Amino acid sequence: MTSQDVSHRAKVTLPKTAYGLIAILVLLVVASVTTPGFARVDNIFVVIRAASLTGIVAIGMSYITISGNLFALSASALGALLAVLFALLTAALGFAAGLFLTLGIAVLCGLAQSVAISLIGNPIITTLAFGTVFRGLAALFSGNSILRIESEAALWLGTARPLGIPTQSWAFIIAAILSWFIIRHFKIGREIVLCGANPKAAVASGLRVGLVTAIACAALSIGVAVMAIMTVSQFSQAKADLFMGYDFDYIAAVLVGGIALRGGKGTPLQAALGAVLIALLQNFMLLHGLSAGVRMTIVGLLVIASISLFHILQGRGR
Amino acid sequence: MLRMSGIVKSYGPTRVLEDVDLAVEAGEVMALMGENGAGKSTLVKILAGIEPADGGTISIDGAAVSIRSPGHAQAAGIGYVAQELSIVESLSVAENVFLGDETLGFFRSAASLARRARPYLERVGLDHIDPLSLAEEHSVAERQLVEIARLLSRKARIAILDEPTAALSETEIVRVKAAVRTLAAEGCAIIYVTHRMPEVFDLTQKVTVLRNGKSFPAVETAGLSIGDLIEAMLGRQLGQMFPPRAAHAGEEILRLDACRASGLKAPVSLSLRKGEILALAGQVGSGAGAVLRMLAGVTPIQSGSVTLEGGAYAPSGIAGSIARKVLYCSDDRKRDGIFAVRSVPENLSAPALSAVSRFGLLSPALEGEHVTRIARQFGLGERFLGRLAGNLSGGNQQKVALGKWIGLDPKILLVEEPTRGVDVGARSEIYSHLRKLADEGLSIIFASSDTQEVLGLADRIASFFHGELVRICDADDVTAESLTRDVTRASEAA
Ligand SMILES: Nc1ncnc2c1ncn2[C@@H]1O[C@H](COP(=O)(O)OP(=O)(O)OP(=O)(O)O)[C@@H](O)[C@H]1O
Ligand SMILES: [Mg+2]
């Protein structure tokens, strides 16, 4: 064993959010320099909108991961169901009723999943099954046709830019800050973190493990509902195959943000950054005309690279 | 045979080992001692290739070696039993014995593995268990013995045992000691980490003490007194190990009438008074722990009745017992005692979240106050508060696991093995602290397989053997001999 001087080694340890921010900045600079059209105003809005909606769901997903329940695979399907229901309800009862009923139904769908997860014990399998049910119901309710809505309020919600910033991004920013605050400063937030860190010790300490799973599932469902409502509002239409294939993006955002798969670590802020990073990357690749297959491969590689990076950081830092 | 010199190791900014030397000869058992957090485990992990050293040299038989991975260590003939269990619960006992053994080849039938595992299991006194049964079916003590069987199967030239007996009771310790003696007689050099004083004098020829990141030159055990050894470890003398007993106990607070639960072969009746410390003495599997688990609501009360402060008490689950202020600290801190990936303060406030929050919001001021109070009472220094619980030394983890309950102002504290893996200094602190709590009106029941601890701390002692309550006596009427006889039923066996 050779002697080596420790004092020469870098001792700075960055918070995990810093890595996300750095990566986003690097990508922004590279993209604007190399890609004509990237820095154009309308493209920027496209990116921001896409990142915001994915980000809101990723923030919801981070509750699931942090609470020790890995991932939910039902988010995109639930999104489609809620979009269809929102369109139907808005057409029948008006925008306000549609909005609140959809949010209520979302929470119920979340609670149903949490009960099943507590009983079955495996969140992946459970939500996979629920996802199929949701997608099926979406097809059933929509009659496999495109549902249109006409509502001034909905159009405003989908397309307005208060203070120059799209509504989607307002929702994203509010969700990120609120979730960070909940996880860090609320009692239930601490319970979510501790249950994820060690469920057995959580039970032994008298923490409400069932409630934690319920809150996590409900949080994700609310995030999904916001995405569904805003998407339908933006385009004034809904159909059963909305958001098909998006599930990996939500999960990728959580992982790229550096939230530990095992649970008990990380904040929703990291998922938010991860989502922005992935949305930027997707847009950058689209402008370069990369095919869907190439884009998928690259996002997948990014996830693998970031998981490995955080794994190494963890081994060294601690 | 083995020589480590000038070993240096830091975790981030904290320097754990500054300049440590250690030398062991073939056939010699070397005790490695020091306070909790002194760096004993860190040192042996370096030797076992689990942690890299930042500096220093290691040589075996005079030749310098470089150990960069557990594989290297194995190739160099180094066998290692870790402080925290490394048993894979979902594998069979036999598979665990040969875990990571590359000489075995991939395709071994389960039966042949079992056949080859049996002699090693027998040597550690596990002949009664089926090598094909799953590891998760066995107690902590049995799993620990499986680890030692694994070490034996490796035919190591240098064996490291990091607190192998912390989770064991007297009879099993005897087996471990016998196994270690055989290894040494076969010419193996042995490094033996322990906090149990009797073992040091019984088993080891030399002692190396670590303190403040430095090692003291090894000394012969034979010429050493317990007092000298403790002073070397702590840097000060230790007064009384055990606090004086309670002057008088209050009225009855808890009463068990003919209770049965899983792990008990006969109904148990006993009572507990306010401010009293009651010991349930027994070897592993004696039923002492089963009584605590029943009272904590972990296992249901199958028959009989329990009365708490005059009212019926039948907790459904842990939350039920916590609601009645009956708190339970299990003996497996890694499994359900600590949140390893969270910080020490978050661990200490975990059961008391309601008390440290206002309107659903955590109050940093209340939480800080809560944490500092526990940390002070349990001698957890300021410098530990910023760490993750999982990065604490074993003994300090135990303080966190036990300390987190104190903040809830319990009525009854149920503790399984209160000082497992805790150094002598901290142990006496924990004892005096438990006694102080009892003097303030807390009733404590602890289960322990450590005779000294039972005799020193308890007001009354209930001894258990094979799932049955043997007898309950005042601590004054019990001697080490009579207690050992009760918990092993030596008289009946003879
Ligand atoms: N991964 C880690 N990161 C940071 N600090 C660590 C890590 N592992 C151990 N430490 C610190 O190093 C010090 C030495 O720990 P070590 O486990 O070697 O103590 P020990 O002598 O074995 O104590 P015990 O008797 O309690 O087992 C402790 O202060 C501990 O908190
Ligand atoms: Mg140790």
pLDDT at B105: 62
Tokens of B360: 């659903």
The reply to whether A8 touches chain B by the CB within 8 Å rule is no
Task: Write down the pTM of the prediction.
Answer: 0.85
In the structure, how many helices (H) and strands (E) does chain A have?
13, 2
Give the pLDDT confidence of A171-221 residue by residue, as tens digits: 999 999 999 999 999 999 999 999 999 999 999 999 999 999 999 999 999
CATH fold group of domain B2-234 = Rossmann fold (3.40.50)
CB contact under 8 A, A198 and B53: no
Query: Which residues from chain B sit within 8 angstroms of residue A205, using beta carbons?
Result: 350-351, 404
Contacts of residue A128, defined as CB under 8 A and 6 or more positions apart, other chains included, come to: A73, A74
pLDDT digits (tens, 9 = 90+) for B179-188: 899 889 989 9
**Whose alpha carbon is nearest atom 28 of ligand 1?**
B37
Residue nearest atom 30 of ligand 1, based on CA coordinates: B392
The tens digit of pLDDT for each residue in A228-249 reads: 999 999 999 999 999 998 998 8
pLDDT at B236 over 60: yes
Select the more confidently predicted residue: A13 or B311: B311
Checking if the pLDDT of A141 tops 60, the result is yes
Q: Token pair of B64, please? A: 């310098």
B315 lines ligand 1 (CB under 6 A): no
Question: Backbone phi, then psi, for B104, in 5-degree steps?
Answer: -85, -20
How far apart (Å, rounded) are the C-alpha atoms in residues A81 and A112? 15
For residue B351, give the amino acid letter: P
Contact A203 B10 (CB under 8 A): no
Q: Give me chain B's average pLDDT, please.
A: 89
Segment A161-180 mean pLDDT: 93
pLDDT of the residue at A184: 95
Domain ranges of chain B: 2-234, 239-493
Nearest residue to A58 (alpha-carbon basis) of A280, A307, A295, A267: A267
With beta carbons less than 8 A apart as the criterion, state whether B155 and B97 touch: no
Is pLDDT larger for residue A65 or for residue A40? A65
- Between A79-93, A126-140, A176-190, B68-82, the lowest mean confidence (pLDDT) is in B68-82
**How many A from CA of B394 to the centre of ligand 2?**
5
CB B31 within 8 A of CB B411: no
Residues A264-286 have a mean pLDDT of 89
Answer with the residue of higher pLDDT: B124 or A228. Answer: A228
Nearest to B215 by CA among B19, B14, B423: B19
Per residue in B331-361, pLDDT (tens digit) is: 888 888 999 999 999 999 999 999 999 999 9
> What is chain A's mean pLDDT, rounded?
89
- Mean pLDDT of all residues in B382-387: 87
Whether B289 contacts B446, CB under 8 Å: no
Indicate if B239-493 has the same CATH topology as B2-234: yes
- How far is residue B45's CA from residue B463's CA, in Å, rounded to a whole number? 38
Torsion of CA B367, B372, B374, B377, to 10 degrees: -160
Contact call for residues A24 and A263 (beta carbons, < 8 A): no
pLDDT of residue A6: 35
ipTM of the complex: 0.88
pLDDT 10s digits, A1-46: 333 333 333 334 567 777 778 888 888 888 778 877 777 777 777 7
What is the per-residue pLDDT across B145-158, written as a single tens digit (0 to 9) for each? 898 899 988 888 99
Region B129-140: mean pLDDT is 85
How far does the CA of residue A80 sit from the closest CA of chain B (Å)? 34
CATH of domain B239-493: 3.40.50.300
Residues of A in contact with B67 (CB under 8 A): 1
Structure token pair of residue B201: 């004098």
Largest Cα span, chain B: 71
Highest-confidence range of A7-11, B242-246, B414-418, by mean pLDDT? B414-418
CA–CA separation, B76 and B159 (whole Å): 11
- B232: closest CA of chain A, how far (Å): 29
Burial pattern B236-252, b for ≥16 Cβ within 10 A else e, equals eeeeebbbebeeebeee
